[in-house]
Structure 1
């Protein structure tokens, strides 16, 4: 029996962004997209928003030996689940995602001031903050405007995210460091990246390969942070080979 594929979305998004991928893979692969708790109308765990509490809610939905595909923030959830619920996860596919998103002296990533600005903006206008984040995700893509329009349309098919989840998700992107777990994982981990991604630079991908020699990375030359939207055919062709 084929392992179930589970799709995890990114910050500010919901499971609807995976609609095209689900439709393409469903005829041959058991597949489902799930909302990260607090997004798309799915309630978050009680108390402060944390990766640990909300990953537990996702773990309860997983079949044994699932293949997790995590985009951006969803990749952190996928890596955490693989490390802490090993019977539930047989493979992790990271899409434009790293084990640590925040730039450090020894680690390429998103400048802390960018994440701080998002946190400040979120307190006054969450809708505008998500729009700005969408624009950054599409930056570099040949058809950025169309990519943003498509993501917004998919996003709008489900309820808005909880304020707690938006703020907590940003905090996870800023501070959650899973490089230790990533380096120790023995299961297959494969990455699909966009060379033009301003949030996940290629230098970070090289650092990941140094951390875990088993990690295999594929880069789409003209894609940015949402390759499954901007370069759907190339992305799906690759995904079908590695899933």
Structure 2
């Protein structure tokens, strides 16, 4: 039995992964733990602490599993390689060694977004959810699907508290896994949608797997293709 641990990104809790549930092949299982501060999981006392994050997530991030981190989830999963026993493999979905880079999201754009979040967190999160879906084949349909999954109406932050969201933006701005991944203790796979608006073209092109016709959120627009891609990586990462 192969286990994938699916880790969500900024502003979305683990319900985001529900569309993949019906597409896993036999012999494969997926767990979808929430990060602290998302869903029903209490926030950390210091939402920006990687040490505290590792203590909280240690039981969820088993070393015999494959960790699949999407967006900020990939950035955090890579950073936790220094804190926890290494997994069988690490998959970075829609994320590279760091978040800001030329041709993708420049530092100035993220800084402006962080300022906007400080002024109006809920409106900024709402804008981001629409914005990150620009690369999907049907952005409006993907947005409706996202809101349905996250229980739109329960609260505007979609199951995440504002302190956790703010710390996540700090991590997007400050975490750089370049050195960490250059000497990673496990195989690292990079998966990108070929139309991902958050990744520079050169990073999309050098990904180990590119998903055709999708952007940053393939779990919404092409769940079957994403599940097949992850199953293939799992097969190549067998012990």
**TM-score of the pair, normalised by structure 2:** 0.87
Aligned length: 230
2:55 paired with 1:56: yes
Equivalent of 1:223 in 211, 214, 221: 214
Q: For the structure 1 residues 142 and 42, does the alpha-carbon distance in structure 2 shift closer, same or farther, using more than 3 Å as the test?
A: same
Task: Please tell me whether the aligned partners of residues 135 and 215 of structure 2 are also in contact (alpha carbons under 8 angstroms).
Answer: yes
**2:133 equivalent to 1:142:** no
Q: Partner residue of 1:15?
A: 14
Query: Mapping of 1:148-167 within 5 angstroms?
Result: 148-156=143-151, 160-167=159-166
CA shift for structure 1 position 108: 4.7
> Does structure 1 conserve the Cα–Cα contact (< 8 Å) formed by 2:54 and 2:84?
no
Confirm or deny that 1:25 pairs with 2:24. Answer: yes
Instruction: Tell me by how many angstroms 1:56 deviates.
Output: 3.0
* RCO comparison, higher one (Cα < 8 Å, 6+): 2
Match of residue 79 from structure 2: 80
73, 81, 93: which one aligns with 2:91: 93
SS in 2 for 1:53: helix
Secondary structure of 2:32's partner?
A: strand
Match of 1:232 among 193, 213, 223: 223
Q: What secondary structure, in the 3-state scheme, does the structure 1 residue paired with 2:229 have?
A: helix
User: Per the alignment, do residues 99 and 51 of structure 1 end up closer, same or farther by CA in structure 2, a change over 3 Å counting?
Assistant: farther
For the 8 Å contact 2:3–2:66, the answer to whether it is kept is yes
Which structure's residues are more often helix, by fraction? 1
Q: For 1:170-212, what per-residue CA distance to the aligned partner results, in whole angstroms no more than 9, with x for missing partners?
A: 1101111111101111422112201211112232356xx6xxx
Q: CA deviation at 1:76?
A: 1.2
Query: Could you say what secondary structure the match of 2:132 adopts?
Result: helix
> In the aligned structure 2, how far is the partner of 1:50 from the partner of 1:110?
24
State the partner residue of 1:212. Answer: none
CA deviation vs aligned residue, 1:40-63 (integer Å, no higher than 9, x gap) = 231122135234422331123233
How does 1:32-71 map onto structure 2 within 5 Å? 32-71=31-70
| Gapped regions of structure 2 (runs ≥ 5) | 235-239
Q: Aligned-pair RMSD on alpha carbons?
A: 2.1
Separation (CA, whole Å) in 1 of partners of 2:127 and 2:100: 18
Uncovered stretches (5+) of structure 1, i.e. residues with no partner = 210-215
Instruction: State the TM-score, normalizing by the size of structure 1.
Output: 0.85
Which 4+ residue blocks in structure 1 deviate beyond 4 angstroms?
none
SS at match of 1:36: coil
